[in-house]
Chains A and B, each alone.
Chain A
Amino acid sequence: MLLHRDRVWALIFLALSIAYGVEAQQIELYFGGEDEAFTARTFPTALAWTGGIVSFLLLVSPVDPDPRPRLREILNYDWLRVAALLLLMIAYGLTIQRFGFFLSTSFFLLAGYLLLGERRPWMLFLVSFPLVAVFQFLLQGLLGIYLADPFLARLGITG
Chain B
Amino acid sequence: MTRLSRRSLCATLAVAGLVFGAATADAVEIKKIHFLIPGGAGGGWDTTARATGEALTKAGLIESASFENMSGGGGGKAIAYLIETADRQQGTLMVNSTPIILRSLRGRFPQSFRDLTPIASIIGDYGALVARADSEFADFAAALEAYRGDPRSAKVAGGSVKGGMDHLIAARIFQAAGADPNKVVYVPYDAGGKALAALLSGETELLSTGFGEAIEAARQGQVKILCVTSPERLAAAPDVPTCKEAGADMTFVNWRGFFAAPGLPDELADAYADLLGRMQKTEIWKEIRDRYGWVDIYKPRAEFVAFLEQQEGEMKALLNALGIETVR
Contact = CB atoms under 8 A, between A and B. Distances in A.
A and B associate = yes
Interface of A: 30-32, 144, 146, 148, 159
Interface in B260-305: none
A30 B32 contact: no
Contacts of B68: 146, 148
A41 to B, nearest CB: 15
B83 interface: no
Interface residues of B, number: 14
Interface in B44-81: 64, 66-69
B323 A31 contact: yes
B66 A32 contact: no
Contacts of A159: 32, 64, 66
B306 interface: no
Contacts of A146: 34, 66-69
B32 A32 contact: no
A31 B32 CA distance: 46
A31 B322 CA distance: 8
A146 B325 CA distance: 38
Contacts of B182: 32
B268 to A, nearest CB: 18
Interface of B: 32, 34, 64, 66-69, 162-163, 182, 322-325
B162 A30 contact: yes
A30 B163 contact: yes
Contacts of B69: 146
Nearest to A153: B88
B296 to A, nearest CB: 26
B152 to A, nearest CB: 14
B310 to A, nearest CB: 24
B67 A32 contact: no
B247 to A, nearest CB: 26
A159 B67 CA distance: 12
A90 to B, nearest CB: 19
A40 to B, nearest CB: 10
Contact of A144 (B67, B162, B322, B323): B67
Nearest to A32: B323
Given A31-B323, A32-B323, A146-B68, 16 more contacts: A30-B162, A30-B163, A31-B322, A31-B324, A31-B325, A32-B182, A144-B66, A144-B67, A146-B34, A146-B66, A146-B67, A146-B69, A148-B68, A159-B32, A159-B64, A159-B66
**Which among A31, A32, A144, A159 has the greatest number of chain B C-beta atoms within 10 A?**
A31
Nearest to A144: B67
The interface centre, meaning the residue of B66, B162, B323, B324 with most chain A CB atoms within 10 A of its CB, is: B66
A32 B185 CA distance: 12
Contacts of A148: 68
A159 B163 CA distance: 41
A146 B69 CA distance: 8
Contacts of B162: 30
